[in-house]
């Protein structure tokens, strides 16, 4: 389907954990841990897809896998029409990853210097970067802070700089891993509005991992519910929950899974 | 083509000078070590046994050791900078942000060490300048081209060892035994502070396994004695052979390490 920009087919990630010194008798015995199991997702162009799940569900692992940072153990995926494993460079050129990771910038450099560096890595020419950086700073509303060091930024400003970095190359798909983690309600709202008005409205596809029910409910067109490495359900928010709230639905899924064990 | 490497250079330069005090301190410590060895040189100065053992290089201990300590910096940076810089990016948390951009890991690894090499060259220049201007070392007859050739070959040889060491860091995150062993043995056996001829025979033979031995000899002979390619050709040849063997091996090991780290999902961990 031409309009499908993210498609995964039984995407799976297993981590090998060596028992090591925690089990001195068998230090070389390995334990296989499945962080993501047989996940099938389809996200259409311009859609905001929410990946909802509690901590440890495997959201970050799945997101990083789709950004080429972690190699899948099995299964396959196409991102923006490119094969996730065989066409990594093309995949990377089509996406941006915005995470809640404050550590992904140089703290001693200014916001602008950080953006200049990452613009070069994105392959943006010097002239284009000189035009583009003020634009994205303005879009996320931190123009006045551009020449201050990143270490002086508030959590909200750091998050916005993360968004600005994602916007630099104006890619087709935005992966966001808990982009509102640690933000106050106002800053959270700012990010939510931004996703709707500046990304979705311009036809960008957003893949948003979150453990906030309200976030998924308010911002996303469709959600997938992940628990224990598996995609338990997905669909449009109102379809999924019917007369219930998403919270009830979420609880049901989690308690069902727990009973199964 | 050079856009990405230059961006690294600029970024690392800005980071370096943002620590103003440490920037200044580095040059101060060069000054103090030059002074220190100047006085050691005074002490050993006229001793016939010293003059005899380094007569090949002109007989002046201070000139001899100045070149040793200055160029040993290239050993440290070649061996250590790749792994240190990758580890630093892992720890800052920026490595992942680089890796989601359409930039290949080898570009990242090589580019992130450029500033270390540039800064080391400046520091080595400072050693030589201080020695030449204020402490009476004579570079009058120096042959620059053979020395530079030796330098480039040395950097390549040391770097290939450093890339192997970075592969270790990539997988095991720390505790890289290779770099430590090579760096310690090179300092001990490679003729940094004393000529290898004072070592027992079996250690002298061992010293020929380390590229620093050839590198220091070629650089000393060309800078202090004005010897040309015909005289230092053997040492340069040894460095070429060394690099021709270790460089491809190091690149292979590095590729393996990257795949391994992506499989383990541990690229950004430290
Ligand atoms: N590199 C790794 N090695 C081993 N286990 C991992 C690794 N990364 C994540 N995990 C495990 O996978 C599970 C899912 O983690 P994660 O994807 O971070 O969940 P989430 O983002 O939903 O909180 C967790 O149990 C975590 O301990
Ligand atoms: Mg997570």
Residue, of A161 and A254, whose pLDDT is higher: A161
Q: What is the pLDDT of residue B174?
A: 67
- Least confident range from B172-176, B181-185, B256-260: namely B172-176
pLDDT beyond 90 at B24:
no
pLDDT, tens only, B100-153: 999 888 888 889 899 999 999 999 999 999 998 888 888 888 888 988 898 899
Closest partner residue to B98 among A90, A95, A121, by Cβ?
A: A121
Ligand 1: residue of A17, A20, A35 to mutate (most ligand atoms within 8 A of CB) is A35
Task: Check residues B154 and A258 and name the one with the higher pLDDT.
Answer: B154
Q: Cβ distance B101 to A118 under 8 Å? A: yes
Q: What sign has the CA pseudo-torsion A130, A136, A139, A141?
A: negative
CA of B22 to the centre of ligand 2 (A): 37
Is the per-residue pLDDT at A144 higher than 90? yes
How would residue A77 be classed by pLDDT, with cut points 50, 70 and 90? very high
Task: Estimate to the nearest angstrom the gap between the alpha carbon of A211 and the chain centroid.
Answer: 12
CA–CA separation, B184 vs A137, rounded Å?
Answer: 49
Average pLDDT in chain A: 88
- What B86-92 contacts at long range (C-beta under 8 Å, 24+ apart), as own/partner pairs, is B86/B112, B86/B166, B86/B169, B86/B170, B87/B169, B87/B173, B87/B174, B87/B270, B90/B173, B90/B267, B90/B268, B90/B269, B90/B270, B91/B270, B92/A103, B92/A106, B92/A107
CATH architecture, domain defined by A4-16+32-104+169-257: 3-Layer(aba) Sandwich (3.40)
Asked whether the predicted pLDDT for residue B182 surpasses 80, the reply is yes
- b/e for A73-102, b at 16 or more Cβ within 10 A? bebebbbbebebeebbeebbbbbbbbbbbb
> What is the arithmetic mean of pLDDT over A122-143?
95
- Which whole number is the average pLDDT over A113-128? 95
Angstrom CA distances, A211 to A15, A55, A156, stand at: 22, 7, 19
**What is the residue extent of each domain of chain A?**
4-16+32-104+169-257
Of A61, A73, A121, nearest to B103 by CB-CB distance is A121
Nearest-by-Cβ selection for A97 from B10, B18, B100? B100
Average of pLDDT values for B238-246? 92
Instruction: Please state the pTM of the whole predicted model.
Output: 0.86
With 90 as the cut, is the pLDDT of residue B267 above it? Answer: no
Q: Which residue has a Cα nearest atom 5 of ligand 1? A: A15
Higher pLDDT, B169 or A174: A174
Across A171-206, b (16+ Cβ under 10 Å) vs e yields bbbbbbbbbbbebeeebbebbbebbeeebbeeebbb
CA of residue A98 to ligand 2 center, whole Å: 12
Q: pLDDT averaged over chain B?
A: 87
Residue B17 phi/psi, 5-degree rounding, is: -75, -10
Query: What integer pLDDT is reported at residue A11 of this predicted model?
Result: 96
Q: Which of the two residues, A250 and A106, has the higher pLDDT score?
A: A106
Would the pLDDT of A258 be above 80?
no
Residues of B in contact with A107 (CB under 8 A): 92
How confident is residue B166, by pLDDT bands cut at 50, 70 and 90? confident
CB-based contact (8 Å) between A123 and chain B?
yes
Q: Is A40's pLDDT higher than 60?
A: yes
Ligand 1 atom 4 nearest Cα: A15
Residue of A226, A229, A235 lying closest to A253 (CA atoms)? A226
Average pLDDT over residues B45-67: 83
Locate the chain A residue with the closest alpha carbon to B264: A15
Which pLDDT does position A6 carry in this prediction? 96
Residue A79: predicted pLDDT: 96
Strands in chain A per DSSP E: 4-18, 30-44, 48-52, 74-79, 82-83, 95-99, 173-177, 205-210, 222-227, 230-236
What are the residues facing A82 on neighbouring strands?
Answer: A79
Interface-testing mutation among A82, A90, A102, A104, with chain B (most B C-beta atoms within 10 A)? A104
Q: What is the mean pLDDT of residues A240-244?
A: 60
Reference B250, options B167, B176, B169, B180; nearest CA is B167
Q: Rounded to the nearest whole angstrom, what is the distance from the C-alpha of residue A225 to the centroid of ligand 1?
A: 16
Which residues does ligand 1 sit against, CB inside 6 Å? A 15, 17, 33, 35, 53, 55-61; B 264-266
pLDDT at B45: 76
Across the interface, of B4, B19, B96, the residue whose CB is closest to A69 is B96
B52-62 mean pLDDT? 83
- In this complex, which of B101, B104, B262 lies closest to A70 when CB atoms are compared? B262
CB-based contact (8 Å) between B122 and chain A?
no
For an interface test with A, the pick among B3, B12, B95, B100 (most A C-beta atoms closer than 10 Å) comes out as B100
* Whether the Cβ atoms of residue B69 and residue B192 lie closer than 8 Å to each other: yes
Residue A260 pLDDT > 50, yes or no?
no
Q: Is A238 exposed, middle or buried (0-12, 13-18, 19+ CB in 10 A)?
A: exposed
Partner A contacted by B14 (CB < 8 A): yes
Tell me what percent of the residues of chain B surpass a pLDDT of 90.
31
Q: Using the predicted structure, report yes or no on whether residue A1 has a pLDDT greater than 60.
A: no
Distance B2 CA to ligand 2 centre (A): 35
- Comparing alpha-carbon positions, the chain B residue that sits nearest to A98 is B97
Is pLDDT at B41 greater than 80 in this prediction? Answer: yes
Q: Which residues pair with A6 in a beta bridge?
A: A43, A79
Q: What percent of chain B has pLDDT over 70?
A: 97
Q: Whole-angstrom distance between the N-terminal and C-terminal Cα of chain B? A: 31
A99 DSSP β-pair partners: A177
Decide if B94 and A103 are in contact by the 8 Å CB cutoff: yes
Instruction: Give the residue from chain A lying closest to B19, CA to CA.
Output: A108
Whether A123 sits inside 8 A of B262 (CB atoms) is no
Whole-number pLDDT of residue A22 = 62
> What is the dihedral sign for C-alpha B231, B235, B236, B237?
positive
CA distances from B4 to A80, A96, A150, B88, B167 (A): 25, 18, 21, 19, 22
**Is residue A244 scored above 80 in pLDDT?**
no
Is the confidence at residue B42, as pLDDT, over 90?
A: no
The verdict on B118 touching A (C-beta cutoff 8 Å) is no
Cβ contacts below 8 Å, chain A against chain B, sum to 92
- Asked if B264 lies within 8 A of A68 by C-beta distance, the reply is no
Q: Who has greater pLDDT, A135 or B139?
A: A135
User: Nearest C-alpha of chain A: how many angstroms from B9?
Assistant: 10
Of B38-47, B200-209, B236-245, give the lowest mean pLDDT range: B38-47
A10, HSE (Cβ side, Cα atoms, 13 Å): 3
Q: What is the pLDDT of residue A261?
A: 45
- Residue A214 touches chain B, beta carbons under 8 Å: no
Atom of ligand 1 nearest to the CA of A177: 21
Sort out which chain A residues have CB atoms less than 8 A from B10's CB and list them: 116-117
In Å, how far are A21, A27, A108, B111, B155 from B269, measured between CA atoms?
20, 22, 21, 20, 29
| ipTM for the assembly | 0.85
Q: Measure in Å the smallest separation between the Cα of B143 and chain A Cα atoms.
A: 39
CB contact under 8 A, A89 and B14: no
Q: Tell me the percentage of chain A whose pLDDT exceeds 70.
A: 87
pLDDT of amino acid A210: 93
Measured between its terminal Cα atoms, the distance across chain A in Å is 37
B197 burial (CB, 10 Å; 0-12 / 13-18 / 19+) is exposed
């Amino acid at each position: 389907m031409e309009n499908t920009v993210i498609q995964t087919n039984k995407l799976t990630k297993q981590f090998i954990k060596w028992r090591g010194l925690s089990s001195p008798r068998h230090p070389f015995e390995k334990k296989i841990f499945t962080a993501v199991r047989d996940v099938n997702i389809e996200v259409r162009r311009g859609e905001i897809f929410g990946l909802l799940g509690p901590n440890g569900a495997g959201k970050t692992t799945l997101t990083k896998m789709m950004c080429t940072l972690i190699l899948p153990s099995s299964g396959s995926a196409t991102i923006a029409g490119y094969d996730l494993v065989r066409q990594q460079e093309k995949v990377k050129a089509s996406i941006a990853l915005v995470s809640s990771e404050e550590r992904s910038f140089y703290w001693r450099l200014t916001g602008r210097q950080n953006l200049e560096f990452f613009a070069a890595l994105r392959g943006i020419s010097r002239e284009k970067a000189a035009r583009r950086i003020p634009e994205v700073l303005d879009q996320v509303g931190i123009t006045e802070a551009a020449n201050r060091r990143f270490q002086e930024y508030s959590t909200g400003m750091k998050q916005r700089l993360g968004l600005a970095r994602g916007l630099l190359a104006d890619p087709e798909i935005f992966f966001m891993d808990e982009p509102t983690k640690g933000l106050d309600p106002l800053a959270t709202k700012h990010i939510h509005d931004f996703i709707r008005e500046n990304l979705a409205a311009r036809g960008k596809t957003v893949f948003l991992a979150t453990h906030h029910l309200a976030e998924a409910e308010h911002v996303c067109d469709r959600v997938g519910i992940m628990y224990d490495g598996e995609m338990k359900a997905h669909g449009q928010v109102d379809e999924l929950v019917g007369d219930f709230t998403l919270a009830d639905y979420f609880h049901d899924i989690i308690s069902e899974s727990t009973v199964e064990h | 083509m050079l856009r990405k490497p230059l961006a690294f250079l600029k970024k690392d330069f800005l980071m370096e000078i943002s620590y103003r005090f440490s920037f200044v301190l580095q040059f101060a410590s060069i000054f103090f070590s030059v002074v220190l060895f100047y006085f050691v040189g005074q002490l050993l100065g006229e001793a016939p046994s010293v003059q005899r053992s380094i007569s090949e290089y002109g007989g002046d201990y201070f000139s001899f050791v100045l070149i040793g300590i200055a160029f040993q910096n290239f050993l440290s940076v070649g061996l250590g900078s790749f792994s240190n810089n990758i580890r630093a990016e892992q720890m800052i948390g920026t490595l992942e942000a680089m890796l989601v951009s359409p930039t290949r890991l080898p570009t990242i690894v090589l580019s992130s060490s450029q500033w270390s090499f540039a800064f080391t060259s400046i520091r080595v220049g400072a050693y030589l300048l201080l020695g030449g201007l204020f402490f009476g070392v004579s570079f009058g007859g120096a042959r620059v081209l053979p020395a530079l050739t030796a330098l480039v070959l040395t950097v390549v040889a040391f770097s290939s060892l450093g890339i192997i060491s970075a592969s270790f860091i990539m997988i095991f995150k720390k505790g890289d035994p290779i770099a430590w062993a090579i760096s310690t043995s090179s300092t001990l056996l490679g003729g940094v502070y004393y000529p290898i001829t004072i070592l027992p025979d079996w250690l002298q033979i061992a010293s020929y396994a380390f590229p620093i031995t050839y590198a220091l000899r070629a650089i000393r002979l060309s800078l202090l004695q004005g010897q040309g390619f015909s005289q230092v050709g053997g040492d340069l040849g040894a460095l070429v052979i060394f690099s021709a063997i270790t460089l491809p091996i190091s690149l292979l090991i590095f590729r393996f390490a990257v795949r391994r780290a992506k499989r383990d999902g541990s690229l950004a961990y430290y």
